[in-house]
A and B are shown apart, each in its own frame.
Chain A
């Protein structure tokens, strides 16, 4: 726009040019104001919604975390940092973090490795590629609600397929969800299955981005499939793997649905992950103050984890 104006003004005479310039700056200014107004109008719906349902709640969380509340959610009295100190002294925070970290350790590496191996194996498949792609992406479209109910039946102590399969193989049935030693492992197994779809889709579309001539020239140099996987696929895929790592860890720290349906935090709090204990604190015990304090701590933990990953892990990522 402004370039056009300049071009028009060039051939004009000097006296007329100065008048024109004044006129032009006025109209330019008016255009600028109009563009500003229009831009704000375009942004208004998003900004309004974010203001009411994102930025205001964020501040209100901080406010609530400093108060105790009555069961109706009304603020009762200012307690300062007592909500936070209570979380630490009662062990609610540390237990939640411990269970959630264990859950992340059980689900993230296993889930990524499985998806990586499957994506690598289907990448150069000649027959049945689409069929396997469909199978491995399938868990992605199942919601956590239906997936967890399906697995609850698979885990059923007597009617479930898993125990009946073990018995057919002559093994002892496993108390999948009823034993504190097994419950988190079972929930993790279900979560690995549930996340397979997303991990597989992202990793295999990352693999499609690696140029074929890389592999061809490596083949000419006599590299075998394992060497090619380690020397070419992994380094070139590392940005995608890093993305999956960050997203998986965040989502592990935010899991709720499968816990609520499969174990409800039990047995003996062995699956009481962080978001589940926020839910219990705020919406079962109606302590919105401590619930908000917990939610803010979750925010801090996720922030720190993400920062650490960007600071330390991303060094190993190879960007082209």
Chain B
């Protein structure tokens, strides 16, 4: 019994140490975000805040258009998410439930394109977007990402699991492909669609290199670029930088609290393809 308790205690000690490692950077950003400027740049740094200065959250809006950053990012992530849901569910339905010429070939094209690292297409895509005059526009940020091979694959696997009898029954009632897709397949696939929605939203929300390449004006920047720009301005004080970071990570924290289940399900679905 004693041995058992000692083992439990050891497990909790390890877990607590690991949790400190995982949480500390985020907690520390919250601490810094409410510190007065003198304290944030004091030496030695304070472990917990001794001053409370919520005005940081207002001041940060004065230095950089952080509201525009957040608005841009949500708009771009939202457009990409909806676009990917539409294109991927249409393509997945064709692959899962329809017969057509060249199905095998087109499907293998989709699967093969998952192997291509995005960096390989980055330079030509930049040149394409530039020649379309899409630099610094929402089209440039969204259109190249509106289709997703991974999402198509994910939804196809889910559509294939839907019982065949359902399709036959719907056919008997005179239901065509379009009506069957809209009225039966989509509502039944809410879990998979939810997973893809969270996944694609987070992916776009967090993307860094592409927005860095194609946005120039401050008003078009997304959050990720805007935040790192904040940091490169030497004159800004760290408490404001971290007030900005806190504002930026709050939405994703909320997403984690409410979407953890969806995310876990999506990840295990991803693991199956490996």
Contact = CB atoms under 8 A, between A and B. Distances in A.
Contact of A144 (B28, B90, B120, B206): B206
Give the residue among A57, A122, A254, A299 with the most B Cβ atoms within 10 A: A57
Given A114-B18, A198-B267, A38 B98 contact: yes
Interface string B113-124: 101111111111
A177 interface: no
B29 interface: yes
Most-contacted residue by chain A among B43, B260, B265 (CB, 10 A) = B260
B187 interface: no
A64 B123 CA distance: 9
Interface stretch (A8-16, A87-95, A98-106, A145-153): A145-153
Main secondary structure of the interface of B (DSSP, over half): helix
Interface in A3-59: 4, 32, 35-36, 38-40, 42-43, 45-47, 49-50, 52-58
Interface in B20-78: 21-26, 28-29, 32, 41, 43-45, 47
B79 interface: no
B14 interface: yes
A250 interface: yes
Range class of the B interface residue count: 35 or more
Contacts of B177: 35, 38
Given A43-B94, A198-B267, A206-B271, A137 B256 contact: yes
B178 to A, nearest CB: 7
Contacts of A295: 117, 119-120, 122-123
Nearest to B121: A57
Contacts of A97: none
B117 A298 contact: yes
29 contacts: A43-B106, A46-B91, A46-B110, A53-B121, A53-B125, A53-B145, A55-B109, A57-B123, A57-B128, A58-B124, A73-B130, A125-B11, A135-B23, A137-B256, A142-B249, A150-B26, A154-B25, A159-B43, A198-B267, A201-B263, A206-B268, A240-B274, A256-B209, A257-B224, A261-B231, A291-B123, A292-B123, A295-B120, A298-B117
A231 interface: no
A103 to B, nearest CB: 15
Given A42-B93, A193-B25, A279 B245 contact: no
Nearest to B10: A121
B193 interface: no
Given A137-B260, A160-B45, A254-B119, A36 B100 contact: yes
Interface string A102-142: 00000000000010011001100100100111111111111
A236 B171 CA distance: 42
Given A54-B121, A149-B228, 4 more contacts: A131-B19, A146-B224, A278-B123, A283-B213
A243 B67 CA distance: 38
